């Protein structure tokens, strides 16, 4: 079963955030990782990330909360939600 992880990041105002670099430092293993940022003027939100993952064939999608701790660095808070489609 393919697993996708949506990382919901709060406290990030870095416009040059490198998602690939951040994913490497997280140490999580998934078939696909997407980042969604709070507080940014963006059209990409949790719903968009979930929809993109379902289109890519992810059967299990988890949303993990994270905080920005530096340039392209984030820390998982330990809170997570499993998102379900209907």
CA distances from 12 to 1, 16, 44, 62, 69 (A): 31, 10, 15, 20, 8
Q: Is the pTM of this model over 0.75?
A: yes
- Rg of the chain's alpha carbons, rounded to an integer? 12
Token pair recorded at residue 35: 């980042």
- Determine the pLDDT at residue 42: 66
Domain containing 70 equals 3-83
Structural domains of the chain, count: 1
pLDDT tens-digit profile of 40-75? 666 678 888 999 999 999 988 999 999 888 777 889
Question: Coil, strand or helix: which one is 77?
Answer: strand
What is the pLDDT averaged over residues 1-14? 84
């Amino acid at each position: 079963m393919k697993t996708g992880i949506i990382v919901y990041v709060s406290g990030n105002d870095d416009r040059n955030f490198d998602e690939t670099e951040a994913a490497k430092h997280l140490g999580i293993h998934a078939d696909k990782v997407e980042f969604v940022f709070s507080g940014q003027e963006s059209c990409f939100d949790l719903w968009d990330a979930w929809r993109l993952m379902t289109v890519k064939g992810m059967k299990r999608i988890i949303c993990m909360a994270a905080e920005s701790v530096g340039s392209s660095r984030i820390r998982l808070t330990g809170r997570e939600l499993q998102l379900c489609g209907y």
